[in-house]
Chains A and B, each alone.
Chain A
Amino acid sequence: MTTTKSERKQNSAGAAATTGAGQGSRPSGTGGSGRAQKSRGAASGGPDGMLWVAQFALIIWALISTIPLLWAMVSSFKSNKEIVASPWSLPSRLNWDNFVRAWNEAHIGQYFLNTVVVVGGGVVLTMVFSAMAAYVFARYEFPGKRLLYYGFIAGMTFPVFMAVVPLFFVVKNLGMISTYHGLILVYVAYSLPFSVFFLTSFFKTLPVAVAEAAIMDGASHYRVFFSVMLPMAKPGLISIGIFNFIGQWNQYLLPLVLVPDESKYVLAQGLANLAVNQGYKSDISGLFAGLTIAILPILVVYVIFQRRVQAGMTAGAMK
């Protein structure tokens, strides 16, 4: 497994050097023997027709993945006039005032702050609560355990919007509409099923012997959890932290329903409101600046931690 990975890394790095080894000129037939010949030709490092087609498709998709983002960022520096005149032109000068307008007048700064508070609180609490529950499910036997565990897991199956009408009234009756703590608790609640599921199987893989030894040495169950098990579970906690960070940062339906007060809007909700808001429609460069403010930080974090992010995001689907 590890050797394969390093080989692949090497390959993508030194690939350019291996092309043009002379095998490329070998005619590749279509028959059975030609096919064998083709793969042998490719085996010694040369390019062949099929590979060029594939590379072409790969490059096209890479462009499709990136150009919309680049376009939004370039447009955020253009004036409204320039945007309407030609969507593909470059800005004649950098209109930084677009960002100032978006941040202050369109309240992107406020929405950004709200998002940071809610997602920060949501992710931390999700990690704490799901680790506690998962630890109990993984390590202890008690009556009703299966019922509780599967009760948690069932929450992964159904779309949130099915429950959104009663949820609105539950939150309203608790007086938590348009509050940070209300949204945080709801985020935590809907993040628990997957987090508990993931961490339970993670805690099960950790050696029992260490915990038992600590108990023998006179440590309490609490101490074992906080000083022994949690540090050992760090990789799992990081994965689940990243997973929930992106998931909660992504939320749209929950804030839309639970946060009607504009001053408490989260970023996605505030931007969507700007995009459909008639009064703002004339200021399309301001909207692009807002989009850029929302896109850039998450993209930078992703590029820096891309391996961890990809592992965290796909971890759940692999089990």
Chain B
Amino acid sequence: MNHGKYRVIISFLVLPVLIYGVFVVSPYLQTFYISLTNWRGYSTNPPFIGFGNYTALFKDDVFWQALLHNGILLVVLPVAVIVMSLFFAFMLNAAGRKKGAIAGVPGSGIYRVVYFFPYVLSVAIVGILWVNIYNPINGLLNGFLKIIGLGHVQPTWLGDPNLAIWAVMAAMVWNFVGFYVVLFTAGMQSIPNEIYEAALLDGAGRAQTFFSVTLPLLWGNVQTSLVYMGILALDGFAIIQIMTNGGPNNSTQVIATYLYQTAFNYGQFGYASAMGVVLFLFTLILAAITLRVTRRDTVEF
């Protein structure tokens, strides 16, 4: 049985481990070291400055602003996306009645396909599309306002420091709701119909069914989604970089865009890496909190 076992193990693992080690593990580890240097990309032996970058970060207003925006994304995005997609998924799976049994509302099949459209587009394309939708002169949105008689309300959307971050967030919600509708649909379809039938016989309405049956049984999925959305909210690079590049006046700056600009526009690689490390710590803390907060007794069925 074991003839040639190690030869197989080594020959199957050597390439994946090599590629993974060179392009993933080593960069992540190097980030820690580079963050302690004053590297600007020229010398091979950059000056070591200890925690200098970190103390500078601490005094950097833009960094704090970016962090605040990540925080806003972290709270608003998961709540908006998960509430909306739970509502839609419930409608598509358990709000209709068909011959006494629970089913989706009419047209569910079509909705499920259509809602996923925005998610199959690349994030960059979503960004470009929405820049044009928000365009104050020839954009879809202000054109719509004109049509419904609100021609005097013509916001500049992405040009307005107070509106820009919300406009970007709306595009993100648009991008992601469909994915979570499908995800929650898969979860809801694995809930046995008998449980719903029992609730129905006991006279439970839709809202009651949702809160007492669907949500508790779906809690595992909601928890996973929170983690995913959390990671997403800490990133947001492509869409923000394309839509606003962090502006106007850093009003949409997040760590990812600030890190990129610091490194590749200004060549401050050490400083940028320090941001990466801070974010690494945030990611760890976030994961720990999410797991704690959402821990509940899993309902078996």
Q: Return chain A residues, CB-CB under 8 Å to B234.
A: 159
Q: Return chain A residues, CB-CB under 8 Å to B118.
A: 65, 68-69
Q: Which of B57-65, B152-160, B171-179 contacts A (4 or more CB under 8 A)?
A: B171-179
Q: Return chain A residues, CB-CB under 8 Å to B105.
A: 15, 51, 54-55, 58
Interface size on A, residues (CB 8 A): 116
Contact with A along B123-143 (1 / 0, CB 8 A): 111011111110001111011
**A58-B91 contact, Cβ under 8 Å, with A132-B12, A165-B31:** yes
Contact assessment for B13 and A136 in the assembled complex, using a CB-CB cutoff below 8 Å: yes
Q: Return chain A residues, CB-CB under 8 Å to B203.
A: 32, 35-36, 39
Q: Return chain B residues, CB-CB under 8 Å to A9.
A: 109
- B279 lies within 8 A of chain A by Cβ: yes
CB distance from B270 to the nearest CB of A (A): 9
Contact assessment for A166 and B140 in the assembled complex, using a CB-CB cutoff below 8 Å: no
Q: Is the interface of A mostly helix, strand, loop or mixed?
A: helix
Interface residues on B, range: 35 or more
Q: Return chain B residues, CB-CB under 8 Å to A196.
A: 16
Contact with A along B17-46 (1 / 0, CB 8 A): 101101111111011001000000100000
* Interface hits, B238-257 → A, CB 8 Å: 238, 241-242, 245, 256
- B224 lies within 8 A of chain A by Cβ: yes
Q: Return chain B residues, CB-CB under 8 Å to A133.
A: 12-13, 16-17
- B4 lies within 8 A of chain A by Cβ: yes
Contact assessment for B16 and A317 in the assembled complex, using a CB-CB cutoff below 8 Å: no
Q: Return chain B residues, CB-CB under 8 Å to A314.
A: 179, 182-183, 186
**A299-B117 contact, Cβ under 8 Å, with A16-B106, A45-B97, A68-B133:** yes
- A18 lies within 8 A of chain B by Cβ: yes
**A162-B96 contact, Cβ under 8 Å, with A12-B109, A64-B174, A190-B23:** no
CB distance from B151 to the nearest CB of A (A): 12
Q: Return chain A residues, CB-CB under 8 Å to B143.
A: 86-88
Contact assessment for B104 and A8 in the assembled complex, using a CB-CB cutoff below 8 Å: yes
CB distance from A277 to the nearest CB of B (A): 12
Contact assessment for A192 and B20 in the assembled complex, using a CB-CB cutoff below 8 Å: yes
Q: Return chain B residues, CB-CB under 8 Å to A43.
A: 97, 99-100, 200
Contact assessment for B205 and A189 in the assembled complex, using a CB-CB cutoff below 8 Å: no
Interface, chain B (partner A; CB < 8 A): 1, 4-9, 12-13, 15-17, 19-20, 22-28, 30-31, 34, 41, 84, 87-88, 91-93, 95-101, 103-125, 127-133, 137-140, 142-144, 147, 174, 177-179, 182-183, 186-187, 189-190, 193, 200, 203-206, 221, 224-225, 228, 231, 234-235, 237-238, 241-242, 245, 256, 259-260, 263-264, 269, 272-273, 276-277, 279-280, 283, 287
Q: What are 19 A-B contacts with C-beta separation under 8 Å? A: A10-B98, A13-B109, A15-B105, A71-B140, A130-B16, A132-B12, A148-B17, A155-B20, A163-B31, A165-B272, A167-B27, A185-B23, A250-B124, A251-B122, A271-B124, A291-B128, A298-B121, A310-B112, A310-B116
